């Protein structure tokens, strides 16, 4: 079964909205390598409509311009791009299509198709729904050492708990944390009485 891997830029207070307004000062060769590692092995990208519109409005022009990011833009253009939306869509960016039917059923079928991993960038509402459905295999977070205070956060305040396990971590020179998580089983029940056995006995 194919993996689905979501990669997001996120602030220290959990904001994932409009990273273009705050994350570029932290983007260096270490972060570039991390982004390449997340998406280098995918052949399909799964998008929410707003994120797709943002990408489609920028990357084809960057590919045509032939600048430093043209190779990455071409890789995005060559990838199969599947867009989640409730309304009919038309596309001008090559290799784009709309996901049909129920999200969980359609993504389950997509994971069962032959091919490499499926990548996601942004598309927070879709990431939340796939996490809740147990369909997201890895969540790659580039945690920036900045507090934004406002904007959409990765996890909604009224959502159910989402247990995760850390499978990889590294710290960049900029202070950005590259954290990879996978779904985990619920941690089980515990009380303060269970926890206090692990407290330091110093001063007692």
Burial class from Cβ neighbours inside 10 Å (0-12, 13-18, 19+) for residue 10 reads buried
pTM: 0.92
Instruction: Express each pLDDT in 65-108 by its tens digit.
Output: 999 999 989 999 999 999 999 889 999 999 999 998 999 999 99
In a domain, 182, yes or no: yes
Per-residue DSSP letter, 176? -
* Chain segment 4-17, per-residue pLDDT in tens: 999 999 999 999 99
Tell me which residue has tokens 């689905």.
Answer: 4
Domain that holds residue 26: 4-196
Q: What is the rounded CA–CA span in Å between residue 48 and residue 50?
A: 6
Q: Report how many domains make up the chain.
A: 1
Per the domain annotation, does 172 fall within a domain? Answer: yes
| Residue 132 in domain | yes
Q: What CATH number is attached to the domain comprising 50?
A: 3.40.430.10
């Amino acid at each position: 079964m194919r993996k689905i891997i979501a990669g997001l830029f996120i602030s220290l207070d959990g904001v994932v909205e409009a990273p273009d307004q705050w994350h570029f000062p932290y983007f260096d060769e270490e972060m570039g390598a991390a982004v390449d590692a997340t998406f280098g092995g995918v052949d399909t990208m799964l998008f929410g409509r707003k994120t797709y519109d943002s990408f489609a409005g920028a990357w084809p022009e960057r590919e045509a311009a032939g600048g430093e990011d043209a190779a990455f833009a071409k890789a995005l253009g060559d990838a199969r791009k599947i867009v989640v939306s409730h309304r009919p869509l038309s596309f001008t960016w090559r290799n784009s299509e709309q996901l049909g039917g129920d999200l969980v059923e359609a993504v389950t079928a997509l994971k069962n198709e032959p091919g490499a991993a499926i990548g996601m960038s942004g598309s927070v509402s879709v990431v939340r729904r796939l996490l809740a459905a147990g369909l997201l295999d890895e969540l790659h977070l580039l945690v920036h050492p900045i507090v934004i205070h406002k904007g959409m956060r990765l996890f909604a305040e009224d959502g159910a708990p989402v247990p995760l396990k850390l499978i990889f971590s590294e710290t960049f020179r900029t202070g950005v944390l590259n954290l990879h998580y996978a779904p985990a089983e619920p941690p089980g029940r515990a009380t303060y009485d269970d926890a206090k056995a692990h407290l330091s006995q110093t001063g007692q």
